[in-house]
């Protein structure tokens, strides 16, 4: 295994891979640091560039975006008090107070170094645990896969802040989109209404780009002329104070348990399908506060808060990569785009991915590992530029991002149909957001829809008894966990409602 990893590292160190990796990491750091531009959006923007590249070069670029984006968000979190990307949300809690206390350099570099160490510890798990996880996945039959997908959807729907019901409806809409077109077994057209436009179904990536990018950009445009919440106190263009990198690293390694625990929390959240970086950052922050000897200092510029959040969100990337490589299911929207890019290049992800494509699998590991020193180098050299980049105007950014979305959709199969689908789902995504429907469950439904149907039908074709879904131990356990997840979400919702009712008595 170490030989393969060494080969992967040597392979990625070639210019044809190192350049896309470096460029991806750079774009990721910039995209992550721009408020309103998420890592998913950045990876969508990078997607069309990967069409013309060798598969590993494209995946290296996307891995770079993922790692860079997970770190870039902390710059805005510390200087503006607004997370540059959702993954750095908990960094804001202590990064911004520390920066306002006159230590923006310490805040930013604590975050950067914690990201590097969290990410590299995560890499150990990625390299050594993905294989065993894939071996477990090989034991899965269609029943287990079906139940795993149901669990993923139940968890995501249950995690939505707005309402469980809307989360579930959103999931169903995602599943419904995948049903349109020919059925996967007998190729019978479904819900096409005789139209050639939707005869082949909706292509996955244009739908994903449309829903995600348009909803995000349009929601940002609504607020274009509003003052930013804490802009009055923001520190745009600030010069960082003098500080020592050795001292910052000492602050991190003085508490190895904090670093290790935050990394493990981030990793586990990353492995769980479709939960994402923001949850790992917040959960690790919460854990750090619980275990801290000085919890009262959290929220006032405590280094532990920054370390926990940033180590966790980079470790989350390694967890997501483990899920996609071992099970073939995306850990979040970013890996969903990566999965789409793999499909375009004819690479089938799943439990056999590592054994069938060792060059690409170990290349991804190597790209993930090397993305961290790249990110560090970019931060060291380009920090003054990044301190200014947070003030790029939306009027400049939005048209460029939209052009790249259109190119990404068109270049998929060189037809305008994909662009029309992009626009159609752009409108659908925005309307759903305005109606309060969360998009994460919809995207997961969209990603998993085909696989759920195939595994369900395959299970029934093997044995028509529906009880097997419950009586096979792993499948039954996964379905029980899905039911528990929904029950927990309902319980939390009821508890929240009761609390609101107590706080606001009905006169």
Partner 1 sequence: MSIGRDGIAGLILLAVSLVLLVQSFQLPSLPIVPVGPGFYPSIVLSFMAAASALLVLQDLLKRRGLAAASASEAPRRNYRLVVITFGIVGAYVALLPLLGFRVATVLFVGALQTALGRPRKVRQWLALAAIALGTAAASYLIFERYLLVLLPRGAWTGF
Binding residues for partner 1, rule: CB under 8 A, are 48-49, 51-53, 163, 165-166, 168-169, 172-173, 175-176, 179, 183, 185-186, 188, 190-191, 217-218, 221-226, 393-396, 398-400, 402-404, 406-407, 410-411, 414, 416, 419-420, 422-423, 426-427, 430, 435-437, 452-453, 456-457, 460-461, 464, 500, 504, 506
Query: How far is residue 28's CA from residue 26's CA, in Å, rounded to a whole number?
Result: 5
Q: How far is the CB of 302 from partner 1 (least distance, A)?
A: 31
Q: How far is the CB of 246 from partner 1 (least distance, A)?
A: 41
Q: Closer to partner 1 by CB, 384 or 399: give it.
A: 399
SS3 content of the chain, % helix, strand, coil (to 5): 75, 0, 25
Q: Closer to partner 1 by CB, 219 or 292: give it.
A: 219
Q: Closer to partner 1 by CB, 218 or 347: give it.
A: 218
Q: Closer to partner 1 by CB, 74 or 154: give it.
A: 154
Please spell the DSSP secondary structure of 190-240, one letter per residue.
ES-TT-STTTT---HHHHHHIIIIIHHHHHHHHTTTSPPTTGGG--TTPPP
Q: What is the dihedral of CA 251, 252, 253, 259, to 10 degrees?
A: 150
Q: Closer to partner 1 by CB, 107 or 177: give it.
A: 177
Q: Closer to partner 1 by CB, 342 or 419: give it.
A: 419
Helices (H) and strands (E) in the chain, counts: 22, 2
Q: How far is the CB of 195 from partner 1 (least distance, A)?
A: 14
Q: How far is the CB of 440 from partner 1 (least distance, A)?
A: 16
Q: How far is the CB of 166 from partner 1 (least distance, A)?
A: 7
Q: How far is the CB of 51 from partner 1 (least distance, A)?
A: 5
CB 285, CB 308: distance < 8 Å:
yes
Q: Closer to partner 1 by CB, 166 or 297: give it.
A: 166
Q: Closer to partner 1 by CB, 246 or 500: give it.
A: 500
Name every residue whose Cβ is closer than 8 Å to that of residue 308 and which is 6 or more positions away in sequence: 90, 114, 258, 261, 262, 284, 285, 287, 288
The SS3 call for residue 182 is strand
Q: Closer to partner 1 by CB, 341 or 404: give it.
A: 404
Q: How far is the CB of 423 from partner 1 (least distance, A)?
A: 5
Q: Closer to partner 1 by CB, 211 or 406: give it.
A: 406
Q: Tokens 């969290």 map to which residue?
A: 118
Query: How far is residue 124's CA from residue 283's CA, in Å, rounded to a whole number?
Result: 21
Name every residue whose Cβ is closer than 8 Å to that of residue 497 and which is 6 or more positions away in sequence: none
Q: Closer to partner 1 by CB, 407 or 474: give it.
A: 407
Q: Tokens 């994903």 map to which residue?
A: 208
Q: Which two tokens stand for residue 453?
A: 């149907």
Q: How far is the CB of 472 from partner 1 (least distance, A)?
A: 19
Q: How far is the CB of 34 from partner 1 (least distance, A)?
A: 15
Q: How far is CA 74 from CA 3, 114, 197, 265, 370, in A?
A: 35, 11, 43, 19, 20
181 phi and psi angles, rounded to 5 deg: 110, -160
- Crossing angle of helices 104-138 and 358-389, in 10° steps, is 160
Query: How far is residue 304's CA from residue 496's CA, in Å, rounded to a whole number?
Result: 29
Name every residue whose Cβ is closer than 8 Å to that of residue 492 and which is 6 or more positions away in sequence: none
Q: How far is the CB of 428 from partner 1 (least distance, A)?
A: 12
CB 207, CB 405: distance < 8 Å:
no
Q: How far is the CB of 457 from partner 1 (least distance, A)?
A: 6
CB 103, CB 322: distance < 8 Å:
no
């Amino acid at each position: 295994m170490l030989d393969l990893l060494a080969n992967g590292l040597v392979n990625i160190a070639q210019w044809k891979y190192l350049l896309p990796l470096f460029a991806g990491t750079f774009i990721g750091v910039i995209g992550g640091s721009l408020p309103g531009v998420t890592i998913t959006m950045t990876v969508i923007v990078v997607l069309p560039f990967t069409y013309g590249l060798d598969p590993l070069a494209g995946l290296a670029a996307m891995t770079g975006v993922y790692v860079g984006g997970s770190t870039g968000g902390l710059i805005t979190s510390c200087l503006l008090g607004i997370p540059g990307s959702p993954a750095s949300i908990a960094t804001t809690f202590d990064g911004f107070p520390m920066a306002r206390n006159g230590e923006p350099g310490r805040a930013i570099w604590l975050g950067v170094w914690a990201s590097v160490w969290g990410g590299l510890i995560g890499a150990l798990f990625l390299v050594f645990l993905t294989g065993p996880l894939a071996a477990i996945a090989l034991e899965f039959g269609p029943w287990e896969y079906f139940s795993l997908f149901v669990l993923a959807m139940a968890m995501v729907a249950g995690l939505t802040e707005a309402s469980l019901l809307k989360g579930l409806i959103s999931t169903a809409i995602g599943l419904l989109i995948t049903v349109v077109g020919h059925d996967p077994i007998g190729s019978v057209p479904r819900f096409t209404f005789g139209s050639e436009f939707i005869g082949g179904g909706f292509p996955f990536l244009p739908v994903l780009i449309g829903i995600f990018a348009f909803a995000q950009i349009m929601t940002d445009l609504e607020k274009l002329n509003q003052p930013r919440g804490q802009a009055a106190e923001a520190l745009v263009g600030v010069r960082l104070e003098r500080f020592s990198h050795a001292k910052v690293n000492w602050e991190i390694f003085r508490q190895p348990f904090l670093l290790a625990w935050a990394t493990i929390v981030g990793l586990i959240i990353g492995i769980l399908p479709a939960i994402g970086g923001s949850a790992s950052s917040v959960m690790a922050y919460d854990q750090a506060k619980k275990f801290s000897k000085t919890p009262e200092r959290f929220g006032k510029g405590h280094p532990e808060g920054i370390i926990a959040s940033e180590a966790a969100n980079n470790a989350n990337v390694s967890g997501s990569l483990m899920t996609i490589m071992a099970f073939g299911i995306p850990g979040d929207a970013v890996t969903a785009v990566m999965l789409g890019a793999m499909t375009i290049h004819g690479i089938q992800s799943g439990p056999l991915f590592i054994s069938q494509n060792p060059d690409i699998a170990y290349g991804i590991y190597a790209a993930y590992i090397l993305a961290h020193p790249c990110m560090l180098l970019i931060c060291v050299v380009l920090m003054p530029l990044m301190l200014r980049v947070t003030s790029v105007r939306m009027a400049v950014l939005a048209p460029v991002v939209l052009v790249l979305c259109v190119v990404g959709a068109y270049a998929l199969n060189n037809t305008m149909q994909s662009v029309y689908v992009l626009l159609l789902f752009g409108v659908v995504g925005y309307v759903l957001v305005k109606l309060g429907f969360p998009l994460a469950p919809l995207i997961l439904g969209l990603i998993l829809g085909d696989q759920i149907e195939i595994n369900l039908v395959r299970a029934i074709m093997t044995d028509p008894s529906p009880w097997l879904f419950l009586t096979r131990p792993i499948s039954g356990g996964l379905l029980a966990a899905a039911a528990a997840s929904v029950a927990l979400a309902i319980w939390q919702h009821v508890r929240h409602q009761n609390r609101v009712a107590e706080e606001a008595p009905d006169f």
